[in-house]
A and B are shown apart, each in its own frame.
Chain A
Amino acid sequence: MNIWTKSLDYESLATTDTPDRPVELPDIEIRAIAKSFNGMTALDEVSFTVERGEFLAIMGPSGCGKTTLLRILAGLETADSGTLLSRGKRIDQIPVHRRNMRLVWQNYALFPHLNVRNNIEFGLKLQKLERRVIDAKVAAIAEMVRLTEFLDHRVTVLSGGQRQRVAIARALVTEPDILLLDEPLSALDANLRVHMQSELKRLQQTLGIAFVYITHNQSEAFSTADRVVVMNRGRIEQIGAPREIYLWPRTRFAAEFVGSNNLLEGRIASVDGNVVSVDCGAGRFFVALPDERLAHGYRPAPKATVTLVIQASKVRGHATGVANENQVTAVVTDTEFTGSQIVQHLRLEDGTALRMIAPDPFSGSTPGPGSTIDVYWSPEDCVLVGPRILPSSQNIPGTKSYVRMGG
């Protein structure tokens, strides 16, 4: 019996050139949502969309507003201003118990006075379905998350991973349009976390519903999500595919928060085609801008203050001879062995710290602390980040733009 029904809303946009296939409205549209608590701003006019059936991760340090955003989506908090839409319809006025978005709590919030089965069917009983329909749905979801043998246990005797699956089953069995997850894996140990990451991804792809997933763990976000939203202090720093954020951070915070990046402050000296030369304290470096940056109309102005970002894994100990290759002399201050790699901590002439990931940890030939070495990197591998940079096209016109054109 196929109990999982999916209905898709098809609505076409009225434009001059009609697309030849119907366009699906996004599952969530957030427009300029703002929220403060006791004078402290939790969300500062945040806007973005969650596309139909997308796995979106929201990433950021503690206090950046991601949990507040999730609670506003679920209806547990009301935004001070802004609008919330789902599939084209406004949902801000709908009370929490009538929204079709289920939340999975960080500590699971399982009802301790009910057993696993009663926990899972809690939402179904409220929908006043027949007993045998409820039983069938519960059996199907238990099968899907592999909880069938635990259905009659009390929830307090379950392990962390089992409780988490009960929380997910309880939310999904009511067939919501969107699933919201608040750091669901943070209470699990590392092995289980990795296992559950792929379980969640598999589940999301099987069901085809949108997942909005909050985490502060970068590898979790990057391995599961279709797109990642990086948030900081109530604002969105960057939205994009994981690879895009990793390779081309658009703001200084994104560059610092994601990956292991080195940041060098400097001023733009000159622009020659797509090669920008930047004067930093330790020397002059060359950055090759990718074409899409130029397509968005980004024209770095001379003498503008910028930050040059180069990944630690892209810094080499030897030259490769590419055009405009960057080279600088540095002193090794520390060598860190993390198991799978060796991280060399270096110090440049002007005191800036640099990190380099040595490619061959067991070769025994890595220079020790105190030695002076030359490091190199290609101009295509670095990224320019300004204090104010125009973000990508997610900025919906009409809302307050918190970033302005660089320069």
Chain B
Amino acid sequence: MADIVSEASTVPLTNSKKPRGRTNRLMIAMLALPTFYSLVFFIGPLIFLIALSLWKVENFRVVPAFTLENYISVGQQMFGNSNYSIAILQSLYVAATTAALCVALCGAFVLALVYTLPSRLHRLALLLAVAPFWTSYILRVFAWQILLAKRGIINTALSAMGIDWQLAVLNTQTATRIGLLHYSAPVIIVILFVTVKSIDRDLIEAARNLGATRWTTFRTVILPLSRVGIVLSFCFASIIAFGDVLSGSILGGGAGRSLVGSVPLFANVIMSDYSGSTNLPRVCVLAIIMVLILVFILMAGMKGSEAAQRSIS
């Protein structure tokens, strides 16, 4: 009798915070796969990258070590011979302009979709809009090369129509931007679609009822309420554009011309260093710099979207 009573007093009357028994095991089982994926394909390579950057090269072979000479060497070259800083600047410039263009064009497209089509067709329309992007990216880049080439389809058509002006965008960053735009479009369209759809239709009708024209409604209601989506789209498009190497090399010709000059993109610099040089740890340092920049852009985007969310709620 006494032991039953004492056992009863140790059992808590309320649910404790930690899930017990079967629930706990289920949670562990469900988290195992994403954790495994994250470790093997993300954390692991990242650690390997950092480790490799601390090794050194002796007699044309990579040797494990712990030295900071690669970092020092890259730091010295930043503004010197290899001019990494100018490449980073070029990449940032192209990424930012691509992101802005992407958000503007995809935004206009999504607005047209959401506000002209009846609601029941929205999902289908989104599917049709995004489906073409499921084809292979590199094949699309090559297709753009054929379209934009000096004797490509566009120029041949122009001269066949008797127009003097010829398209000369290949080997400039304009062509790179076209490829990058094509690459980031599906993601941005989906993000902006969700954002615009979530704007309460009543608010738009209220603005109209109070005397706003369609343009004023867009400026004062739709645009402010899309802030979160716009910030996130800009962030994601920048990340996609900054890290890409295919558009820059195939369409941009490796060191495409832009306002910053005929400077290669940072991603292309890494690629060419990787294939050209014999110093793998040094290339790892460059890669780590790129990862840091991307993480910075991501964090800025997260902070920005939080601030945007606070401003509209």
Which residues of chain A have a CB within 8 Å of any CB of chain B? Answer: 74-76, 96-99, 101-103, 105, 107, 109, 111-113, 122-123, 126-127, 156, 170-171, 174
Contact = CB atoms under 8 A, between A and B. Distances in A.
Contacts of B275: none
B25 to A, nearest CB: 41
Contacts of A99: 209
A191 to B, nearest CB: 26
30 contacts: A74-B209, A75-B209, A76-B205, A76-B208, A76-B209, A96-B205, A96-B209, A97-B208, A97-B209, A97-B211, A97-B212, A97-B213, A99-B209, A102-B210, A103-B209, A109-B200, A109-B202, A109-B205, A111-B206, A111-B221, A113-B311, A113-B312, A122-B207, A123-B210, A126-B211, A126-B212, A126-B216, A156-B313, A171-B210, A174-B210
Interface in B198-238: 200, 202-203, 205-213, 216, 220-221, 224-225
Nearest to B221: A111
A105 to B, nearest CB: 6
A67 to B, nearest CB: 12
A123 B211 contact: yes
A104 to B, nearest CB: 9
A174 B212 CA distance: 13
A96 B207 CA distance: 10
B208 A96 contact: yes
Given A76-B208, A170-B210, 16 more contacts: A74-B209, A75-B209, A96-B208, A97-B212, A98-B211, A99-B209, A101-B209, A103-B205, A107-B202, A109-B200, A109-B203, A111-B206, A112-B225, A113-B311, A113-B312, A122-B212
Interface residues of B, number: 20
Contacts of B205: 76, 96, 103, 109
A105 B224 contact: no
A122 B311 contact: no
Contacts of B220: 122
Interface string B276-312: 0000000000000000000000000000000000011
Contact of A105 (B202, B212, B221, B225): B202
A180 B209 CA distance: 11
Pairs of residues from A and B, 6 with the lowest C-beta to C-beta distance, nearest first: A123-B210, A109-B206, A109-B202, A113-B312, A126-B211, A113-B224
A328 B205 CA distance: 56
Contact of A122 (B210, B213, B313): B210
Contacts of B200: 109
Nearest to B217: A97
A101 B209 CA distance: 8
A118 to B, nearest CB: 10
Contacts of B313: 112, 156
A171 B205 CA distance: 13
A126 B221 CA distance: 13
A301 B203 CA distance: 54
B199 to A, nearest CB: 10
B221 A174 contact: no
Nearest to A106: B202
Contacts of B211: 97-98, 123, 126-127, 174
Contacts of A74: 209
A96 B205 CA distance: 9
Contacts of A102: 209-210
A312 B202 CA distance: 42
Contacts of B203: 109, 111
Tell me which of A74, A103, A111, A122 has the highest count of chain B C-beta atoms within 10 A of its own C-beta: A111
Contacts of A170: 210
A101 B211 CA distance: 10
A102 B203 CA distance: 14
Nearest to B214: A97
Interface in B24-70: none
Contacts of B206: 103, 105, 109, 111
A76 B204 CA distance: 11
A170 B208 CA distance: 13
A101 B205 CA distance: 13
Tell me which of B205, B221, B224, B225 has the highest count of chain A C-beta atoms within 10 A of its own C-beta: B205
Tell me which of A74, A75, A76, A98 has the highest count of chain B C-beta atoms within 10 A of its own C-beta: A76
Contacts of B212: 97, 122, 126
A105 B201 CA distance: 12
Contact of A112 (B207, B213, B312): B312
Contacts of A171: 210
Contacts of A103: 205-206, 209
Contacts of B210: 97, 102, 122-123, 126, 170-171, 174
B63 to A, nearest CB: 59
Contacts of A97: 208-213
Contacts of A112: 225, 312-313
Contacts of B207: 111, 122
Nearest to B205: A76
A277 to B, nearest CB: 54
A169 B224 CA distance: 22
Contacts of A127: 211
A180 to B, nearest CB: 9
Nearest to A103: B209
Contacts of A122: 207, 210, 212, 220
